[in-house]
Each structure stands twice: as structure tokens, then as C-alpha cells.
Amino acid sequence: MGIFRYDVNRYTPLQMAIIPAVIFILALVSLGMMMMATGMPVRPGIDFSGGTAVTVFTTDTPEEIRTYFAGFPLVGDPKEGPNNGLYLTFSAMSDTDLKALSDKVLARYPDAKIDQIGESFGKTLQQQASIALVFSFIGMAIVVFVAFRTFVPSVAVVTCALSDIVITAACMNLFGIPLNLGTTAALLMLIGYSVDSDILLTMRTLKRQGKLDEKLAGAFQTGIIMTTTTIAAVAAMAIVAYFGNIQMVYEIALVLIIGLFVDIMNTWLTNAGLIKWYILKRGGR
């Protein structure tokens, strides 16, 4: 007996897949609404939209800072930065406004650090990141189809990977996590992990002899232990990054944690339901 039990006979393939399908559709709607609002399915960070990042070292409260910069496009609330500083983000602005912002920052915070990313450069990074995501997904799909050479199991793996990315991206909008270079890297890592867990399930059920429920139960015990161990490690990274004020690492860890929980749902409901339907359709072979 394993620590985790999975009663695959309790639900039909349709019952297993219906909840992930509804969540997937809601996620698509969320991404579509964000696309209409910002031009991107996930709210872009300063890396992709362009703008100015300012780190100030002060005892001023966030309310005082917001009041001081009331005439400038301050995005969100001031966040804790490195060396006990406060990290401010401003959206893209004209050269005149940028010069005025720099003068205003240095007038009150002479030791502040100012970094700027041009809007055109941000769009170039945005395009490159989109290409990386698309080609990574296409490459993954090709490898899966070549490895299995069977339509339904291959489609199940690719579908779950796509659902992982879509739902995780929608959760990023929900929790206010921006799409930047770091979180794009997290989504790329998530594609690899999703395929890994789905292939584990598919190989255990199609390549081994035995009863379907026993094979699924064994695959679930191995897969869920792998995933929860990874979640624990990433959660530790998130805690260290949070208290160490390492914002990018913290955001990467949050995206991975969300994606891993989403992957548990898609692997052991969507993919398991499709595999069960496929095997039962073949008469249990």
C-alpha cells in the first residue's frame, strides 16, 4: 500500500475530464479579456512593456511616495527591494516626462537607482519570448508524437501541457504576477515538467501488463510523490526569495508552484481520463 491512493474506478472518463475542461475554458476567457485590454494575454511587466524602474532608499511610507509621484504613471504599490530599498515601477512615458521623473527622483532621493527599458526594446523582448514559447511547445509536441506514434495518447500529453500553460497564465493575471523574462522562463520549465509527468502516466498504463486500475494507482503514487517533492523545494525557494527581497526569483517560484498544482489536476484527471477512455475503447488492451 502506498501513501497516496487513486480510485480510478470511481469516476468515468467524462467525469474526470469535465472539471479541468471547464477551468480551461474560463482561463481562455480570462486571457482573451486581458488580450483585449493590454494586447497581451498576460499583463506584461516592465521587461516587455517598457518603462522605468526606480529603487529608492527612504523611510517614507508607500502612501507618501504615491503622493510625491502623483503626476507620473506609477504602476502598483511600492515593493520592497534589495538593501532595504523600495522598488517603484513606472509605465512607458515620453522623453520629456522621463527627464522630469529623473529630476524629481534625485531631488528627494539622491542615492536612488534608476533603470529604463525603452518601449521598442520591450516589444522586441516580447516577440522573442513569444517565439521561444511557441517553438518550445511545437518541439515538445513533435517529440511526443515521435515517441508514442499513437494518436490519442500523444494528443492527451500535448493537451495537458497546453492546459497547464493556459490555466497557469490565467492564474498569473488573477494573482497579479506580470509576464517578464523570469516568469517566461518559468512557463518554459513548466512545459518540460508537464510532459515528464504525463509521459510517466502514459508509459505506466500502456507499456506495462496488468489491470488498468492497478497501473493507474501505481503511476499516481509515483507521480504525486515526485510533484509534491518538487512543490516543497520550489516553496522553500519562494520563502527564501521573499524574505531576501529577490523579486524575480519569488515570481518564478510562484508561477512554478501554481503550474505544478495545475499539472496535478490535468495529469490525473484530464490525461488519466483520456487514457482510461482509450484503453477501454480498445477492450482493455
Q: Is the pLDDT assigned to residue 271 strictly greater than 70?
A: yes
Q: Is the pLDDT assigned to residue 165 strictly greater than 90?
A: yes
pLDDT confidence band for 119 (50 / 70 / 90): low
Rounded CA separation 241/70 (Å): 30
CATH number at residue 156: 1.20.1640.10
DSSP secondary structure code for residue 52 in this structure = E
Q: How many domains, the chain?
A: 2
Domain contains 241? yes
Residue 244 neighbours by CB distance under 10 Å: 11
Q: Is the pLDDT assigned to residue 284 strictly greater than 70?
A: no
Q: Is the pLDDT assigned to residue 2 strictly greater than 90?
A: no
Q: Are residues 137 and 189 in the same domain?
A: yes
Q: Are residues 163 and 95 in the same domain?
A: no
Domain contains 94? yes
What pLDDT is recorded for position 81? Answer: 67
DSSP states of 183-198: HHHHHHHHHHHHHHHH
Q: Which domain holds residue 163?
A: 8-45+120-281
Q: Are residues 156 and 274 in the same domain?
A: yes
Q: Are residues 86 and 155 in the same domain?
A: no
Q: Are residues 55 and 104 in the same domain?
A: yes
Instruction: Using the 3D structure, point to which of 62, 88, 117 is the last residue of a domain.
Output: 117
Mean per-residue pLDDT over the chain, rounded: 83
What pLDDT is recorded for position 229? Answer: 92
pLDDT confidence band for 256 (50 / 70 / 90): very high
Q: Are residues 190 and 97 in the same domain?
A: no
Q: Are residues 30 and 55 in the same domain?
A: no
37-60 residue pLDDT tens: 877 888 887 777 777 888 888 887
Domain contains 3? no
Residue 202's nearest CA partner among 149, 136, 151, 148 is: 148
Q: Are residues 87 and 155 in the same domain?
A: no
Using left for φ > 0, alpha for ψ between -120 and 50, and beta otherwise, residue 210 falls in: left
Q: Are residues 62 and 161 in the same domain?
A: no
What pLDDT is recorded for position 1? Answer: 44
Of 90-99, 110-119, 227-236, 265-274, give the lowest mean pLDDT range. 110-119
Domain contains 253? yes
Q: Are residues 81 and 180 in the same domain?
A: no
What pLDDT is recorded for position 217? Answer: 80
What pLDDT is recorded for position 247? Answer: 81
Percent of the chain residues topping a pLDDT of 70: 93
Q: Is the pLDDT assigned to residue 285 strictly greater than 60?
A: no
More confident residue, 28 or 148: 28
Instruction: Using the 3D structure, point to which of 91, 117, 143 is the last residue of a domain.
Output: 117
Q: Is the pLDDT assigned to residue 76 strictly greater than 50?
A: yes
CATH number at residue 94: 3.30.70
Domain contains 185? yes
Domain contains 132? yes
Q: Contact 68/103 with Cβ under 8 angstroms? A: no
What pLDDT is recorded for position 27? Answer: 95
> Which residue, chain included where needed, has cell 524602474?
53
Residue 53's nearest CA partner among 248, 209, 263 is: 248
Instruction: Using the 3D structure, point to which of 59, 89, 117 is the last residue of a domain.
Output: 117
More confident residue, 202 or 263: 263
Rounded CA separation 31/168 (Å): 10
Q: Are residues 19 and 151 in the same domain?
A: yes
More confident residue, 163 or 69: 163
Q: Are residues 183 and 272 in the same domain?
A: yes
pLDDT confidence band for 111 (50 / 70 / 90): confident
